[in-house]
A and B are shown apart, each in its own frame.
Chain A
Amino acid sequence: MTSHWCDFQNTDVILNCGSNSVENHPVSALWLEKAHEQGAKWIVVDPRYTRTAEQADIWCPIRSGTDIAFYGGMYNYIIEHLIEPNLAKYQETGDMSEYNFEYLLNYTNASYILDPDYKFDPETGLFSGWNEKTKTYNAHSWHYETESTEDWDTSENGAYAWVKKPGTPEFTTPTLTNPKKDMTLQDPMCVYQQFKKHYSRYTLDTVCGICGIDKDVLELVYKTYTSTAKPGKAGTVLYALGQTQHTYGAQNTRAMSVMQLLLGNIGIPGGGVNALRGEPNVQGATDMGMMVNEHPAYLKWANTTDRASLRKWLESQTYSDGYYTNKPKFIVSSLKEWFGENATVDNDYGYDWWPKVPSETGAVDYTHISTFELMQQGVIKGYFNWGMNPCHSAPNAGNVRRSMANLDWLVVADQVITESASFWNAPDMNPSEIDTTVYYLPCALIYEKPGIILNSGRWIQYRYQAVEPWDQAKPDYEMCDLLWTAICDLYKKEGGANPDPILKTKWDYYVDGKIDPRPVAWALNGYRVAGTECNTDSANPKTDLLKGYAELGADGSTACAMWIYSGMWNNNDAPLDPAEQPLCRRNTEDKSGIGLNSEWAFSWPSNRRILYNRNSCDMQGKPWNEDKKLMEWNGEKWILVDQADFVAVKGDKPVPPNNKTFFMLWEQNARLESYGMVDGPLPEHFEPFESPCDENPLNGAFHNPCAFGTQYASTKQGTKEQYPIVATTYSVTEHWRTGGQTRLCPALVESMPAQFVEMSEEFAAEKGIKNGDEVRVFNNRGSVVVPALVTKRMQPMNVNGKVQHQVGLTHHFGWADLYGTGDVVNDLTPNVGDPNSFTPEYKAFLVDIEKA
């Protein structure tokens, strides 16, 4: 989230798209209801009439998987109704009564001139730079034309003097290329003109045909939501897995960001692009970079090409301008925390001990979907599952359990015997043929151990331990320590394949000789190496914790695992007492008056509650909305309500307002067009991997040409002739993911005891199905039997002139012996995904249905 839960109350229009807040994030809905009570309009775009739709003013049903057509139509609507009719007047008189031109012109890259080779061809559906052989793009022509260049000043008094400080690794500093701009927006190669041309194809009729939306409803949605284009008005978009779980899910997310930029809705109270995340600490796990190519705190992990050495990392990752000019400080401090005294400038701070992910074009992929292919091939032999249950949650789950049967060993750390722990005992598996050794390690519950957790709004909060773990259950941190210590002992005793990366790793998070999460919290916050000893006794802790990330150095003097968390745990007077740290603050007095709650817990980075908040003011530093203020320039300095997400002060001199409002990007303006995606610089509509359509009316490429996983035979793609029904998946309040916790609670199983497939009355009548009948839902990948739920909440749609039926399945039960068992619905979902994020396409696929 760029904003946070309590900020929803500040909005004028709510757009739930691919999320069902009232059902799946029930308490957050409180803040939507507050806005609604104060007069906000509420729109829900969803294939089903959900509980959220029940609360809202407008329900716009949509065919699963067609969101980009919906957003593209809105861009076209904004251009035709708000920008084009008012642009000339704005340029003459400055009139912004209908549309916030100042935001578009100064805070986005609308005026930037693109490379002359930039092109999109609707005939082929391809952008410039396509390589047919590798099925990948070269993004060169998606960049800007250069006006001028600037080099870093690393002289003694220069802005980048730190580069020359002893201890700082050597690298060639970047050159800033100032982009060419046309502030009149008339140059045919400027981003705005190319954008306008691109989305002129997304007419109301075309979008209605693709999405199966009624034209009057669509127009009403566009009119209502684009009313937030006026300065001082705010619209918030709330999304969840309904947007991300597609073969173009990352482009869906970008599409929402672009919509919010066109409407001036990012960085203002009641605005933002707000992911309603679904796991308790998935925000923390994302921050931690627990993914193949990621590194903690949104840096990139070492690889075999542009990050093959520390120097290459520094040269490819350090931005030429903006806040990410500081990346060398972040990565050196991370290495220093990782390897401790073994990390020196002479050995590149131990960089080569880190494993490098193969990254040449065509290299083996190791992300989630691919790991099961690698098990089939006998490459992956050992597997750890930490509170995750892929035999239930991964797409094409039948393929998953058959793949896992090739493992030598599996370790499952969980609170219950999950489907993954017992995959060998699934109804369709024969244990005597499976040679995998499986270890089940019992975990402590959330209130049986202490620790840090982040919510979707980036609040870092604390869990106090209330009771001891039951029986032999242990916290995961203790398991890690036992395992790590045992592995180190084996390598010390026996040697083995290069033991250095293991034995040079610093692992000293002990209090009074016992593993303890508190020194780990110091590591996440950051500390001065000279004054800190993580291995401590409680009577006399020695720490020099950093106040914040501004204190980080690239010279090895500081250690920090997670620069964005710096400032959360920084009290050197009581370093072992969580209650004395910023993350445990409990002051409920909200001085902002708009629910920032700045003295409750800690929000990364630097306790900022609303990201990109400089965008809440105009070019003179006056807030767009006087009643909902995040800051203001008073002529001499910035008066801050939220922590500044921009350069407000340099040294001790206030910095007057300028156009650098997105300082986490090198150009410091947000990107309507972006060269950062692998599958195109602008979101373009494609059909899901399994689509009910004959053609894509918008372009000649039916599917996303870069869609990931389509090469795997295990995906067993079905055709619309075999499987004519569009299916999607979702959850109800009492169900949560694979049920390891919710199926452990009898009260929840009692209140929602079964899965179901929800279908329209028309479709049920066609198939002779009655409400409550057991039905078989099937495709090439699997078959499940669940009761039918026949409702008015699903309706047949008119898609490109034909009647199309959609159904929705809940997914929660499995064979594991908890309260409540049932078939695994993810046996049906396809193991293909998005080429940027590698997220699977759970939300749109094809099935057929018959009475069981």
Chain B
Amino acid sequence: MNLSRRGFFKATGAALATTMAFELSSQTQAFASESKQDWKLVNTEEYTNICCYCAGGCGSLLSVRDGELVNLEGDPDHPINEGGLCPKGATMFQLRNVVDPETREVIKNPKRSTRPLVRRPGASDWEDISWDDAIAEIARKVKDTRDASFIEKNDNGLTVNYTPAIASLGGSQENSEEEYLILKMMRSLGVIAIDNQARV
């Protein structure tokens, strides 16, 4: 998604100023003599985000260099958390990247699964599957299940247009636009067994 540069500045203006201050300060002799290394946040773009844990809505600030996340911290301008983050919020960086205990390099988090997989009936392991094949297979299963179970009219002749055979669970982890798309897709398929974390 492309943000206009003006919009980007407006959204992250204060954060960007911080970066520039770091940049300037790193050029002074006093600082330069202390460390040969660049400041961690030099030449980064900063983006604001909202925490993925409790519904506090704390703001975070993400620093990106060459398309990769290099730092994540509390947004000091955010009126709720005023720059602070709890232990969970403060470690959100690790959702994507961790330090390899052997090489001390920052690497992709090896426990995260980033490819589509399928487990076939009776199998005791996963198989790789392409996105195209996964989508085609799921669409076929949804259609077959819906077609075999669809109730267009109930016993009283009332148009009801539902399938009792498909259920959908979840939504509180998604952004609101995604919640609407999930809901719209499920309801239009005729799914009534819809629930999410708000139920529990």
B141 and A441 contacting across the interface, CB-CB below 8 Å: no
Question: Which among B14, B152, B169 is the interface contact of A384 at CB below 8 angstroms?
Answer: B169
0/1 string, B1-15, CB within 8 A of A gives 1: 111101110111110
Residues A284 and B185 in contact in the complex (CB < 8 Å), given A438-B118, A459-B57, A466-B49: no
Residues A449 and B123 in contact in the complex (CB < 8 Å), given A355-B187, A480-B185: no
Query: B95 — which chain A residues lie within 8 A by C-beta?
Result: 415, 445, 741, 744-745
A288 and B195 contacting across the interface, CB-CB below 8 Å: no
0/1 string, A435-479, CB within 8 A of B gives 1: 111111110011111111111110111111111111111111100
Q: How many residues of A contact B (CB 8 A)?
A: 172
Question: Which among A411, A442, A459, A745 is the interface contact of B138 at CB below 8 angstroms?
Answer: A411
Query: A13 — which chain B residues lie within 8 A by C-beta?
Result: none
Question: Which among A30, A355, A454, A578 is the interface contact of B192 at CB below 8 angstroms?
Answer: A355
Is A432 on the interface with B (CB-CB < 8 A)?
yes
B47 and A447 contacting across the interface, CB-CB below 8 Å: yes
0/1 string, B170-200, CB within 8 A of A gives 1: 1111111111111111111111111111111
Question: Which among B53, B68, B135, B138 is the interface contact of A741 at CB below 8 angstroms?
Answer: B53
Query: B53 — which chain A residues lie within 8 A by C-beta?
Result: 280, 736, 741
Residues A523 and B180 in contact in the complex (CB < 8 Å), given A27-B86, A280-B172: yes
Is A289 on the interface with B (CB-CB < 8 A)?
yes
Query: A743 — which chain B residues lie within 8 A by C-beta?
Result: 111
Is B43 on the interface with A (CB-CB < 8 A)?
no
Interface of B is mostly: mixed
Q: Which chain B residues numbered 25 to 69 have a C-beta less than 8 Å away from chain A? A: 45, 47-59, 62, 64, 67-69
Is A103 on the interface with B (CB-CB < 8 A)?
no
Q: How far is the CB of B106 from chain A (nearest CB, A)?
A: 13
B189 and A502 contacting across the interface, CB-CB below 8 Å: yes
Query: A481 — which chain B residues lie within 8 A by C-beta?
Result: 181
Considering the chains assembled together, what is the distance between the CA atoms of A740 and B112 in angstroms? 9
B114 and A746 contacting across the interface, CB-CB below 8 Å: no
B114 and A472 contacting across the interface, CB-CB below 8 Å: yes
B177 and A388 contacting across the interface, CB-CB below 8 Å: no
B199 and A432 contacting across the interface, CB-CB below 8 Å: no
Considering the chains assembled together, what is the distance between the CA atoms of A584 and B150 in angstroms? 43
B166 and A27 contacting across the interface, CB-CB below 8 Å: no
Name which residue of chain B comes closest to A448, CB basis.
B96
Query: B8 — which chain A residues lie within 8 A by C-beta?
Result: 464, 579
Is A71 on the interface with B (CB-CB < 8 A)?
no
Residues A751 and B55 in contact in the complex (CB < 8 Å), given A285-B171, A453-B50, A471-B114: no
Query: B14 — which chain A residues lie within 8 A by C-beta?
Result: 586
Query: A394 — which chain B residues lie within 8 A by C-beta?
Result: 200
Considering the chains assembled together, what is the distance between the CA atoms of A291 and B32 in angstroms? 58
Is B103 on the interface with A (CB-CB < 8 A)?
no
Query: B158 — which chain A residues lie within 8 A by C-beta?
Result: 304, 308, 356
Question: Which among B154, B161, B176, B198 is the interface contact of A453 at CB below 8 angstroms?
Answer: B176
Q: List 26 A-B contacts (CB under 8 A).
A: A25-B54, A30-B84, A241-B200, A279-B54, A280-B55, A280-B173, A281-B175, A289-B183, A387-B174, A434-B121, A439-B116, A439-B118, A439-B137, A439-B138, A447-B96, A462-B50, A464-B12, A468-B67, A487-B142, A578-B7, A586-B11, A736-B54, A742-B88, A748-B88, A751-B87, A839-B199
